[in-house]
Amino acid sequence: MPSVLILGAASDMAIAIAKKYASENYQVLLAARNVNRLDALQADMNIRSNAQCSLHEFDATDFQSHASFWNSLPVKPSITICVFGYLGDQEKAMTDWNESEKIIQANYTGAVSILNIAAQYYISQQSGTIVGISSVAGERGRQSNYIYGSAKAGFTAYLAGLRNRLFHSGVHVVSVQPGFVNTQMTAHLKLPPLLTAEPKEVADAVYSAVVKKKNTIYVKWFWRWIMLIIKMVPEFIFKKMKM
Ligand SMILES: NC(=O)c1ccc[n+]([C@@H]2O[C@H](COP(=O)([O-])OP(=O)(O)OC[C@H]3O[C@@H](n4cnc5c(N)ncnc54)[C@H](OP(=O)(O)O)[C@@H]3O)[C@@H](O)[C@H]2O)c1
């Protein structure tokens, strides 16, 4: 049975991805902080899809634990999906280093730490897939979220470099740029419905991208063009805008 590891498994997006893979008869390894809160999800998945779902304690910022976390997995997953992230409070982060650091570590450093380990394993196997959920926020810095955006920009560049390196070992890397998604992370924001995806759409897009070996996907196709336009605005105009 093929297996998938989902890092940051308590998120709405991750739960939808887990259910999608369970429905496709994957063994699903759910990794999250305080993972016991996913007991009900685990039981539900085991009953409904016979998915052999297991729970694993994982903190993206506990870097020293990552090697032992990986070594302790009951099976080595054929797919590793990095979903965790932290939007944080940009206003606070501008003056509070602890908040900045939390954003950087949850969106960039933590991902690099665990995916470096996954990558070495996949190179040794000459097969495997890594998926990273990044963000269009990383495509151009804006005053309203440039700390989160810069961490995601770093993550996007990391995934691109990793894809380039791992290609030569038969390992594939998918970068996911979801656009707005209706989750706990954005529950306090008024998102434009037409531009906003549901977690299930992300899950279907991730599954399909892995099967088709896509490099970078935008969950709703038009986000690629929205971001292209945003990136084309000349800096002397862009810096005067309040975005
Ligand atoms: N929602 C959007 O519009 C949107 C758009 C683009 C990209 N994204 C990205 O999509 C991914 C999933 O986000 P979501 O929208 O589903 O939000 P979410 O429900 O807030 O999920 C984020 C998850 O990340 C986990 N996490 C944060 N710090 C962690 C750490 N140090 N160790 C382990 N887990 C940690 C959280 O765990 P706890 O439950 O333990 O806090 C939470 O389950 C994130 O990477 C996010 O940046 C979201």
Residue whose entry in the numeric block shows the structure tokens 């008869």: 25
Q: Are 36 and 12 in contact (CB under 8 A)?
A: no
pLDDT band per the 50, 70, 90 thresholds, residue 192? very high
Q: Which residues line ligand 1 (CB under 6 A)?
A: 8, 10-13, 32-33, 58-61, 83-86, 106, 110, 133, 135, 178, 180-181, 183-186
Say yes or no to pLDDT of 167 above 90: yes
The DSSP secondary-structure symbol of 176 reads E
* pTM metric for this prediction: 0.97
Instruction: Give pLDDT, residue 13.
Output: 97
Residue whose entry in the numeric block shows the structure tokens 């998915």: 51
Note the pLDDT tens digit of each residue in 31-90: 999 999 999 999 998 887 776 899 999 999 999 999 999 999 999 999 999 999 999 999
**For domain 3-238, which CATH number applies: 3.40.50.11260, 2.120.10.30, 3.40.1710.10, 3.40.50.720?**
3.40.50.720
Share of the chain above pLDDT 90, in %: 94
Instruction: Give pLDDT, residue 193.
Output: 92
Note the pLDDT tens digit of each residue in 130-156: 999 999 999 999 999 999 999 999 999
Q: Are 134 and 176 in contact (CB under 8 A)?
A: yes
At 102, list the tokens: 């939390």
- Helices (DSSP H) in the chain: which residue ranges? 12-23, 39-49, 66-71, 90-93, 97-104, 110-125, 146-167, 199-211, 222-232, 235-238
Instruction: Give pLDDT, residue 50.
Output: 72
Count CB neighbours of 236 within 10 A: 7
Note the pLDDT tens digit of each residue in 103-117: 999 999 999 999 999
Residue 197 bridge partners (DSSP): 181
At 190, list the tokens: 């008024």
Residue identifier of the C-alpha nearest atom 31 of ligand 1:
60
Amino acid sitting at position 57: E
Instruction: Give pLDDT, residue 25.
Output: 92
**Which ligand 1 atom sits closest to the C-alpha of 59?**
32
The alpha carbon of 86 and the centre of ligand 1 are apart by a number of angstroms equal to: 5
The alpha carbon of 11 and the centre of ligand 1 are apart by a number of angstroms equal to: 6
Say yes or no to pLDDT of 24 above 90: yes
Residue among 5, 6, 7, 11 whose CB has most ligand 1 atoms within 8 A, to mutate: 11
Which whole number is the average pLDDT over 188-210? 96
Say yes or no to pLDDT of 125 above 80: yes
Residue whose entry in the numeric block shows the structure tokens 């990794």: 31
The alpha carbon of 26 and the centre of ligand 1 are apart by a number of angstroms equal to: 22
**What are the residue ranges spanned by the domains of the chain?**
3-238
Taking the C-alpha atoms of residue 82 and residue 59, their distance in angstroms, rounded to an integer, is 12
Q: How high is the mean pLDDT of the chain? A: 96
pLDDT band per the 50, 70, 90 thresholds, residue 199? very high
Taking the C-alpha atoms of residue 134 and residue 138, their distance in angstroms, rounded to an integer, is 8
CA distances from residue 94 to 88, 131, 136, 148 in whole angstroms, order as listed: 11, 30, 21, 11
CA distances from residue 206 to 36, 67, 90, 240 in whole angstroms, order as listed: 25, 26, 28, 36
